[in-house]
Amino acid sequence: MNRLSPADWTVPVTDPQDPRVGRLLGSGLSGPEEALCVLVGFPVDEGVRRNGGRPGAAQGPSALRRALARLTPDPARWEGFVNLLRRTWDLGDLVPSGELTEDQEALGRVLAPYLERGSTAIILGGGHETALGHFLGHATAGRSVSILNWDAHPDVRPLLDAEGHSGSPFRQILEHPSGRCRGYHVVGLNPHVVAKAHLDYLDARGARYEFGPGLTQARIDEIYAELEADAMVSFDLDAVDQAAAPGVSAPGAIGLTPALWLHAAFRAGSSPAVRSIDIVELCPPLDRDDQTARLAALTIWKFWSGFLARGSQEGP
Ligand SMILES: [Mn+2]
């Protein structure tokens, strides 16, 4: 049975008039049971290793928290933002056993009770193998989900030696014996890194895919408007242009702009269908001056900002 290790939210001392995320987080709660929103880290990159990728994503959760802790609440939604932070609880990082399947199942067990009682969950990866554990949270809670994945790759590769990895989570989810995946839609594909056979696989499964080039904010709005509840959204940072997100295992010479990516994060927050998100593939050893960690942190910040606009027509 996996343990959770407490998260570090140390922030530099700031003026009391200038509180930061790291100081406010969870300050209105005595425990996670009443949390509106829960965070959990999955410091695992065993799947990246198995997939032949460059490891380092196991350090993702701590680098992401460091960047997130320093941010201010959104001044445009000040009171709501501060209140949301005060009612957000970080469960900490899952302590990996070293056995990937076991760790993915453990992540599912950690998430399930919170998803069941209606908390919104944010999972800090880890390689994209994080998404299978994320899905297992819903499956364990007895909930069927539709899945939206922002990614340069479809991540439906076959297993390797009968084992999953960072390139296979959505194949494992689509074929999961629980039958809890209601639909899969991947957006942001980079045509030069997508195997035709994987698109054929998606077609055969009735899954949907869209390429990154040509994507607009209006199309992102439509994608969320069409999203069926309950939904989980996965944010793979390698969908973003390498110039803006160098700290990933598999960067792309072209990719989504940060503006489009963050619009997708805001809409995930403002869409009532969305129950949980993950941010994956942040690889701190390959990062440049914490640039990708900052973008990952801002992805969550935008999600929170969108969450406060839930049910209204407000834009970012
Ligand atoms: Mn991916």
Q: Is the pLDDT of residue 11 over 90?
A: no
Summarize pLDDT for 133-142 with one digit per residue, the tens: 999 999 999 9
Summarize pLDDT for 219-230 with one digit per residue, the tens: 999 999 999 999
Residue 1: pLDDT band by 50, 70, 90 thresholds? low
How distant is the alpha carbon of residue 216 from its chain centre? 21
Q: Is the pLDDT of residue 242 over 70?
A: yes
Angle at 138 (CA atoms; ends 137, 140), nearest 5 degrees: 65
pLDDT value of residue 237: 98
% of the chain exceeding 70 in pLDDT = 99
8 A C-beta contact, residue 131 and residue 280: yes
Tell me what the pLDDT averaged over the chain comes to: 96
Instruction: State in Å: Cα 59 to ligand 1 middle.
Output: 17
Instruction: State in Å: Cα 19 to ligand 1 middle.
Output: 34
Distance CA 42, CA 60 (A): 8
Taking residues 35-64, report their average pLDDT: 98
Residue 184: pLDDT band by 50, 70, 90 thresholds? very high
% of the chain exceeding 90 in pLDDT = 95
Write the DSSP symbol of residue 314. -
8 A C-beta contact, residue 136 and residue 108: yes
CA atoms within 13 A on the CB side of 116: 13
Instruction: State in Å: Cα 137 to ligand 1 middle.
Output: 19
Instruction: State in Å: Cα 55 to ligand 1 middle.
Output: 14
Taking residues 46-60, report their average pLDDT: 97
Walk me through the domains of the chain, giving residue ranges and CATH numbers.
4-307 (3.40.800.10)
Counting DSSP H helices and E strands in the chain, the numbers are 11, 9
Taking residues 80-108, report their average pLDDT: 97
Amino acid at 238: D
Query: How do strand 231-236 and strand 145-150 relate by DSSP bridges?
Result: parallel
Distance CA 13, CA 23 (A): 9
Q: Is the pLDDT of residue 312 over 80?
A: no
Distances (CA, A) of 35 to 85, 106, 173, 194, 286: 10, 20, 27, 39, 34
pLDDT value of residue 10: 87
Q: Is the pLDDT of residue 74 over 90?
A: yes
Summarize pLDDT for 136-170 with one digit per residue, the tens: 999 999 999 999 999 999 999 999 999 999 999 99
Distance CA 131, CA 151 (A): 12
Residue 265: pLDDT band by 50, 70, 90 thresholds? very high
pLDDT value of residue 311: 74
Instruction: State in Å: Cα 49 to ligand 1 middle.
Output: 14
Residues 6+ apart with CB under 8 A from 66: 8, 290, 293
Angle at 279 (CA atoms; ends 220, 185), nearest 5 degrees: 40
